[in-house]
Structure 1
Amino acid sequence: MKKFRLITTTIVLGLVFYLGSILNTPADGAGTNPGTTDDPVVTKSYVDQQIQQALNGGGGSSNPTTPTNPTQPSQGADEVKNVALKPGKILIADAGTEFIVRSGNAVIYTEVSSGVADLTDGKDLLNGETAPKNHLLSFPREGRGIQVKEGQTSNLIVMVRGGYTIK
Structure 2
Amino acid sequence: MMTKRKYFAAIISACICIGAGSILSVKVNSASTTPGTTDDPVVTKSYVDQQIQKALGGGATNPTPTPSTPEQNSNEVKNVSLKPGQILVADAGTEFIVRSGHAVIYTEDSNGVADLTAGVDLLNGQAAPKNHLLSFPRDGRGIQVKPGQTSGLIVMVRGGYTVK
Give the number of equivalent residue pairs.
Answer: 151
Q: CA deviation at 1:101?
A: 0.6
- Aligned partner of 1:125 in structure 2 is 123
Check conservation: 2:97, 2:130, Cα contact below 8 A: yes
- Aligned partner of 1:68 in structure 2 is 62
Give TM-score, length-normalised by structure 2: 0.61
State whether structure 2 residue 91 is matched by structure 1 residue 90. no
SS of the residue 2:66 aligns to:
coil
SS of the residue 1:25 aligns to:
helix
* Aligned with 1:100 (options 96, 103, 107): 96
Closer, same or farther: CA 97–49 of 1 in aligned 2, 3 Å: closer
SS of the residue 2:29 aligns to:
coil
SS of the residue 1:156 aligns to:
strand
Check conservation: 1:109, 1:127, Cα contact below 8 A: yes
Query: Whole-Å Cα distance in 2 between the matches of residues 50 and 115 of structure 1?
Result: 37
Query: Whole-Å Cα distance in 2 between the matches of residues 139 and 116 of structure 1?
Result: 9
SS of the residue 1:165 aligns to:
strand
Counterpart residue identity of residue 32, structure 2:
G
Q: CA deviation at 1:165?
A: 0.5
RMSD over aligned CA atoms reads: 4.2
Query: Percent of counterpart pairs with the same letter?
Result: 28
Query: Whole-Å Cα distance in 1 between the matches of residues 115 and 107 of structure 2?
Result: 20
Q: CA deviation at 1:87?
A: 3.6
- Could you list the runs of 5+ residues in structure 1 that have no partner in the other structure? 58-65
Query: Whole-Å Cα distance in 1 between the matches of residues 104 and 111 of structure 2?
Result: 8
Query: Whole-Å Cα distance in 1 between the matches of residues 12 and 32 of structure 2?
Result: 29
Closer, same or farther: CA 56–45 of 1 in aligned 2, 3 Å: same
Closer, same or farther: CA 119–18 of 1 in aligned 2, 3 Å: same
Closer, same or farther: CA 40–135 of 1 in aligned 2, 3 Å: closer
Query: Whole-Å Cα distance in 2 between the matches of residues 46 and 107 of structure 1?
Result: 44
SS of the residue 1:157 aligns to:
strand
Check conservation: 1:49, 1:67, Cα contact below 8 A: yes
Closer, same or farther: CA 40–112 of 1 in aligned 2, 3 Å: closer
1:23-42 to structure 2, matched below 5 A, reads 23=21, 24-26=24-26, 28=29, 31-35=32-36, 41-42=42-43
Query: Whole-Å Cα distance in 2 between the matches of residues 44 and 67 of structure 1?
Result: 12
Report which of the two has the higher share of helix. Answer: 2
- Aligned partner of 2:161 in structure 1 is 164
SS of the residue 2:47 aligns to:
helix
Q: CA deviation at 1:93?
A: 2.0
- Could you list the runs of 5+ residues in structure 2 that have no partner in the other structure? none
Give TM-score, length-normalised by structure 1: 0.60
